[in-house]
Structure 1
C-alpha cells in the first residue's frame, strides 16, 4: 500500500508542475512581452503573438522595453475593448490561431488584480494570446453516507465540451464572465449543471483559491479559481442539467484520491480536489512527503 500511495504522490507532483510549467526553466517566460494597459501589466504576450499584433498599428504600439501596449487614443474601457475585439474578429476570420476556433462570445474582464477596476474586456478564447488572468468558480460537493463517512460528488463532462470532453470534473464549475459576481456564478453553475436549487447552493462556503500558470501551443494561461465547499443533504442527488455534464458519481474519499491522478481527471479540477483533501486532513504533512510542494503548487501567482 505504501508503494501505491508513493506512486500517487509522485503523479500528483507531476500534475502540479505541469499546471505551473510557465515558472519552470525552459518556458517562454523569458521571451514573453508584458501586456500593459494604462501603465499596468495585465498579462504576458508570447513573442509569436507579438509579431502578429505589430500588423495592427492602429491598436497596438510597436514593442518597447519588453512590453506591448495599446495606442494612446484608446483611453477608456469601451474604446480598448472595442478596438482589441475588432482585431480579434479579424484574426478569427483568418483562422491561423487555433484558440480562436473555440470562440465563446463570452467576455472576461482584464485588470492587474481581481480587486482592481477592469481596464477592458476580452473574448474568453483569446485571453491566452495575451496571458490575461482568467477567473473561475469551482464547487466541491460532498455528503455523508449511511455510515457517516464523507463522500464526494464528481461530474463527468459531456463528450461535446470544447475542452477536456468526457473528463472527470468538480460538482459544478464555470468561468467568471464580465460583470458577474463570484457568488452569482457559483449559484448559477450549480443550478444549470447539477440542478441544485438556489437555496441549497447558497449554503456553499467560500474556502480558498487555487492559482497556477501554464503554457501550451495556444498561449499562456494564468488562472485563479474561487473554491467553494458545498455539503449537500444526504438524501439529495445532483441531476444532469444543461448538458455540460453527462453523469455524476458519489465516491469514497479513497476512490476520489485514486482517480485524481488518472488520465480521467481534468487537471485544474484535480487541483481543486487536492486542495479539499488537504483542508479536510485527508493529506497530512507527517505522511505526505510532498505536502509543502503540494500547497505551494496550488497557490502560484505572478
Structure 2
C-alpha cells in the first residue's frame, strides 16, 4: 500500500474513533451528566428524556445538566438507584446497548486516580458517556538480528462486539473491583494462557484515549497500554474462547493491516502508538505524524 494511501486511511480511522469532537456530532445537544456537582459524562437527548422520568433518581439542574438527586449521597446509594433504573429500562425500553448486559461493574470517576462516585453496569456506560478504562497489551518478539514481530489475536466470531477482527495480544476493561496490573495479569491468563510470571514482565508505556458516538451513546475510553517482550520460544494459546487464533507477524505487515477493515479500531490505535514509540513511524517520513500523536490522546 502506497505511503500516502496508508496515511490517509489512518487519519480516517482517527477521525472515526474521535468523531464526538468533529463538527456535526451530537456533543452540542448532549446534556452534561453530573454527580455531586462534578461532570462525569455526556448524555444524548433521547437517553436523557428516558432518565428524567425517574424523578427520584435524576434531576435537571438550572444549568441544564442531568444530575443525580441530592438524597443519593453515597457510592452505594447512587449505584443501587441507577442500577434499578437501568434494569427497568432493560425490560421496557429499546436501548440496544442494554441487550449486551454483562453483570460487570465499572467505576464512575473523571480520572482513574479519583475516588469513584458510583459503579455502573458496563453495558450502560455509553448511555451516560462516562469514562471507561481498559488495559491493552502489545506482545512482541525481537529476533537475534533485531527484527520485530508482533503477536495479534483474532477475536472469536461469537464475540458481542467486533467479532472476527484482529485484536491486541490481550486486553480487557478494568472492572470496579480490579487494579490495572491485576486486570493485565487476568486478561493475559484468560485470553492467551500467559502465566503470571511472564505477564508481570509487561511494562506500562502509554495511554491511548478517544471518544466516539454511534447514535446510541457516547464512548469515552482510555486504555492503559503495556508492552510485553516475549521469548521467541513462547506461543500464546487460546484460553477462555474470546479469541479464535493468534498470529506472529512481521511489524511491517502489522503496520499495513492497520489501514484495513480487519482490525478492531481501538486496538489499531494501540498498535499505532507502539509503532510511533518504537520509531517505526518517524516525523521526517510521515507528514501526518502530529495528527497521529494528537489523535491517540483525545480525552474529554
- Shorter-chain TM range is over 0.9
Partner secondary structure for residue 152 of structure 1: strand
Q: Deviations over 1:235-286 (max 9, x none)?
A: 0000000000000000001100111111110000000000000000000000
User: CA separation in 2, counterparts of 1:126 and 1:29?
Assistant: 18
**Cα drift, residue 63 of structure 1:** 5.0
C-alpha deviation, 1:140, in angstroms? 0.1
1:265 alignment partner, SS class: coil
- Counterparts in 2 of 1:1-302, with a 5 A limit? 4-145=2-143, 147-302=145-300
Partners of 2:112 and 2:197 in 1: how far apart? 27
Give how far 1:62 is off. Answer: 3.1
Match of 2:106, SS? strand
User: CA offsets, 1:180-215, max 9 Å, x none?
Assistant: 000000011001100001000000000000000000
Whole-angstrom CA distance in 1 between matches of 2:111 and 2:177: 15
> How far 1:145 sits from its partner (Å)?
3.6
Q: Aligned-pair distance for 1:95?
A: 4.0
Structure 1's unaligned 5+ residue stretches are none
How many residue pairs end up in the alignment? 300
TM-aligned CA deviation for residue 146 of structure 1: 5.8
- The answer to whether the 8 A contact 1:34-1:67 is kept is yes
Distance 1:279 1:290 in 2: 15
Does the Cα contact within 8 Å between 1:141 and 1:152 map onto a contact in 2? yes
Is the 1:194–1:241 Cα contact (8 Å) retained in structure 2? yes
Between the aligned partners of 1:226 and 1:64, the Cα distance in structure 2 is 36
Question: What SS does structure 2 have at the residue aligned with 1:61?
Answer: strand
d(CA) in 1 for partners of 2:110, 2:150: 35
Q: How far, CA to CA, are the matches of 2:120 and 2:209 in structure 1?
A: 20
The SS at the match of 2:59 is coil
Kindly report structure 1 stretches of 4+ aligned residues shifted beyond 6 Å: none
Q: For 1:202 and 1:280, how far apart are their aligned partners in 2?
A: 21
Q: Which runs of 5+ in 2 are unaligned?
A: none
CA contact (8 A) 1:35 1:130 kept: yes
CA positional deviation for 1:147 = 4.1
